């Protein structure tokens, strides 16, 4: 019963998401998305760059396989309890491989790998993943004109989620 009380008391508050464009990292092309509990992504440039550095390090260390698309997207989420970094990479055309990192608010640029703890995305991060899924379908997998990776890399979600 306590879980029902917790749900009844919960107040969902939208957060801002900002698409920050795409960057190259070795063989990888990476879309960057930022979610903020307050303010906007431009308020936290040090966190964005630390998240990019962590992501670039992870992606560079991955062995290349024939299943890699070499396309990934990041979700950097400055939340109430910490800073989350999700690295999602497309594999074998239609599968996402997921890496999850967290930094404490007291040291928001020190990301630690928490993938083994099997965290999944929160409701705000799911909004970005849903957008990325649809864009991947629209521009790459189900595009009648053929895969258009450049357009996929150029579109992103912006606004309140």
Looking at the whole model, is its pTM more than 0.85? yes
pLDDT given at position 82: 97
Q: Is 134 helix (H, G, I), strand (E, B) or coil?
A: helix
- Residue 108 tokens, joined: 């928001």
- In this prediction, residue 118 carries a pLDDT of 87
Query: Tens-digit pLDDT profile for the chain (161 aa)?
Result: 788 898 989 999 999 999 999 999 999 999 999 999 999 898 999 999 999 999 999 999 999 999 999 999 999 999 999 999 999 999 999 999 999 999 999 999 999 999 999 889 999 999 999 999 999 999 999 999 999 999 999 999 999 99
Domain ranges of the chain: 15-160
Helix (H, G, I), strand (E, B) or coil at 90: strand
Please name every residue paired with 78 in a beta bridge, in sequence order, or none if there are none: 36, 83
Residues 6+ apart with CB under 8 A from 119: 84, 100, 102
């Amino acid at each position: 019963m306590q879980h029902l009380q917790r749900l009844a008391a919960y107040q969902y508050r939208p957060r801002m998401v900002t698409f920050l464009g795409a960057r190259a990292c070795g063989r990888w092309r990476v879309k960057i998305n930022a979610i903020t509990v307050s303010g906007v992504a431009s308020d936290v440039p040090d966190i964005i760059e630390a998240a990019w550095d962590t992501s670039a390090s992870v992606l560079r260390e991955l062995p290349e396989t024939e299943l890699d698309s070499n396309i990934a997207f990041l979700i950097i989420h400055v939340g109430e309890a910490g800073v989350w970094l999700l690295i999602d990479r497309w594999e074998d055309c239609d599968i996402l491989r997921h890496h999850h990192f967290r930094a404490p608010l007291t040291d928001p640029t020190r990301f630690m790998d928490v993938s083994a703890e099997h965290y999944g995305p929160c409701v705000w991060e799911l909004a970005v993943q849903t957008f990325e899924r649809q864009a991947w379908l629209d521009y790459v997998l189900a595009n009648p004109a053929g895969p258009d990776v450049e357009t996929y890399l150029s579109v992103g979600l912006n606004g309140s989620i």
